[in-house]
């Protein structure tokens, strides 16, 4: 599909037809990315989206070691560190 750039103050804009917005699932905010020589407009990514599923897929942390408990105190720990 071809479209024209429209002037918006000192910037330029693109009108995106409603069927394309619905097909892609764009909301009120979008992300603009440059990939090679292309401008990509995509739905805004929510920070930490899908984290819950990722943590669940990583498995239980019950066998993880705590590194701080296995290291010996150093000079800084003995003389300078205060709670």
Does 67 score more than 80 pLDDT? no
Over the stretch 26-64, which tens digit does the pLDDT of each residue have?
A: 999 999 999 999 999 998 887 777 788 888 888 776 666
Each domain of the chain, given as residue ranges in start order, spans 1-45
Is pLDDT larger for residue 59 or for residue 15? 15
Q: Spell out the residues 6+ positions from residue 6 whose beta carbon is closer than 8 angstroms to its own.
A: 12, 13, 14, 15
User: If one looks up domain 1-45 in CATH, what number appears?
Assistant: 2.10.260.10
Place of tokens 């720990």: 77
């Amino acid at each position: 599909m071809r479209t024209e750039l429209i002037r918006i103050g000192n910037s330029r804009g693109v009108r995106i037809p409603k069927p394309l917005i619905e097909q892609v699932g764009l909301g009120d905010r979008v992300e603009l990315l440059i990939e090679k020589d292309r401008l990509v407009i995509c739905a805004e990514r929510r920070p930490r989206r899908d984290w819950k599923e990722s943590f669940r897929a990583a498995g239980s942390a019950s066998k993880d070691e705590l590194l701080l408990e296995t290291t010996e105190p150093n000079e800084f720990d003995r003389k300078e560190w205060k709670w």
